[in-house]
Structure 1
Amino acid sequence: MAERGHCRVCPEIPFIRPRAAGRGITLASISTFDEDIIPFQVEVSQAQLRDLRQRLSQTRWPAQISGTGWARGVPGEYLRELAEYWAQRFDWQAWEKRLNSYPQYVTVIDGARIHFLHIRSHRTGATPMIMLHGWPGSVLEFLDVIEPLSDPEDGSPAFDLIIPSHPNFGFSGPTTDSGWDSIRTARAYAELMRRLGYPRYAVQGGDYGAFIGPDLGRIDADRVLGVHVNAATWGFMPHGQVPDDDAATLTELEREKLTLIGEFLTDGSGYYQIQGTRPHTLGFALADSPAGQLAWIVEKFHAWTGSRGALEDRVDRDHMLADVSIYWFTNTGSSSAQMYYESLHSPQHPTHSRVPTGVANFAGDPAIRRYAEQLNNIVRWTEFDTGGHFAAMQTPDLLVSDIRAFFAGLR
């Protein structure tokens, strides 16, 4: 029999706690029984849904300079329409049901609660693979790749999938201490895979997951089969001025990537600087205003999904709003920003990884192979002229194919 309780970190989100040894596991004991893996179900209350709609209906909209489009941020007219859709027509409960159709669990590692999906393939001998989301992503990023990877209809390789919400993100909730950079998070995931009984496993990650994934390969090299990344940045592109010797030998594609990097640094990195230096100040707006949280995330979807057509032509609107909803309902807009602060202030620097690494470089991603090889053992590199930063949402078939091809060569 299960006992319904509430997480002390995210009190609004109920989860299911099984009874142990004839008594209920108390909230205070969760951190004591460090090895416990507890079943979890997402359940956003009607009160939370009403609160979201009410807050959106009472949004005080800012004045803007007309005719500027997206050049200065999210256009007010666009966000008004999107906020109205979120409040009146978006069906969160359908996405909650879809998420709850997969087995989910929570456990405590290094003092932090870790939420994760654990989908076991029906195929014998499937390769375990941990999949790591980025910011402003969530476990919902991977919904369209779960079935193709875990239970492919053809003879393609099959995977057992472990998909965690990072500490400070989503259903893992805020941590109670600082220091959760990519290396500490990687150590927690190495422990998670040990608890699940996997002696060898694959790693895949995008965006911040492309930070954590290679670090997981570095600290758990004897157990990691290989690391596949997309939306790769840190450790996969140059930092600072390109040496003159390199400049003379750059290919046309590398020059295009350097142009993208320069444009990002001069006109697209304001969010990074704010989250990396003053996440608490930003947090007041993200925690109190769903329209503010919506704008903060949607601007990144617009900037990072390409430039062809309207945003909704590049990524499904409801899928994007489901992702934003997780940040809102779990109140992790501010805590997830801590990732940038920890990254900028971490005393730890990556060393060269000996683990085989594959890169799927989708359109608009700035990774450059010659610089990626300085810290990573690159054995596969695929350039795509389509897709974008949120590959699992935008071009799931291409991402799945590249993951399969990379790990097939490592079996």
Structure 2
Amino acid sequence: MTNPPNQTAPAGGPLAGVRVIDLSTVLMGPYATQIFGDHGADVIKIESPEGDSTRWIGPGRHPGMGPLFLHLNRNKRSVVLDLKTAQGAAAMRRLIEGADVFVHNLRPASITRLGLDYESVSAINPRIIWCGVYGYGEDGPYAGRPAYDDLIQGAVGIADLQQRSGASEPRYVPLTIADRMVGLHAAHSVAMALYGRERTGRGCRIDVPMFETMASVVLSDHLYGRTFEPPSGDAGYVRLLSPGRRPYETSDGHICALVYNDGHWQRFLRAIERDDLRTDPRFADLSSRTRHIDEVYGFLGQTLRGQSSDHWLALFEQIDVPAVPLNSIESLLDDPHLAAVGFFRQVEHPCEGEIRTFGTSARWVGYDVSQLAPAPRLGEHTESVLRECGFDASALVSLLVSGAAVSEAAGVQVSA
């Protein structure tokens, strides 16, 4: 649920005082750093003069402020540096001197060419937590290859699992699930590294490869019978792969229900007056139902088609079996539970006007994580952040005139 303002909590979240230099683009890295910013970190987003490409995705009110960018880059400050110039690279090194965390999603060869590999960055700041998120681990033959969410979904078997579970052909899940999962892994890895640094005083390097991370996620469900040597069965968790595992059609729509454990089944079969099945060995226990999962799901599908969605939702609530209506994205916006917990926030963006967003889903007691700073305009904070790092007016003018830095402000006049 979203956190309401906490009048007794200190200003800022648990990461207040932590400065993150975010040299990541698109989704995976920005999602990790969004989590840092949401929890109080000062996230400095380093952008090229062209800006993060997500600025240009989707409908927007002004160029460069698309909906994906607005959500992924709230609670961040935008600094534009051309890192291929000597002055831009020097400014980046100055930022790194005072940072706690450095995050990037460039390929290893690219980050090395920029002089921002771990060895170079730790030489500037030995306490820094350096985190690289990219496609593949450096020890294997895929090292250095480009990687995107779709490619990783295919490489780790997700698209194939879609077909095995009933789709007519391999399909990608319609979510950037690999980017999000790997971003979460990066966020918790950095949090653990910060905790370790508190005890040891040492910074460290963290590599978070997409392929290996998502392979572990998929295989934790689907290694299944191939867990054992020799195998005790095939790979693939049969319940998840059954074509019947889908929202159930009712007489007037669809619902989502999970008649799962032994208690659920006994109460459900009693409620629909199918006592004959209460002793049927196929329905006897979880192990047996798993072995006969296609029959089990087939029976549920046939049964639920006979009554309305409201009938089944009321019955499932009465007998304490988990069930929910089937939402669309549009109906989710009006979900009564999300409304009751204050999930959605209407905020005023300084240039985009009123937008709908959402806060952190975890509830914190003792910290205030309710504040949402709007996603920045390209180069909005270039001057203020560089001033904080010790650049005086003449140094700023030099950076801006040369094009090594770009400010949102028109012209290059900088007040002393």
Superposition TM-score, scaled by structure 2 size: 0.24
* Larger relative contact order (Cα-Cα within 8 Å, sequence gap ≥ 6): 2
- Greater radius of gyration (CA): 2
Superposition TM-score, scaled by structure 1 size: 0.24
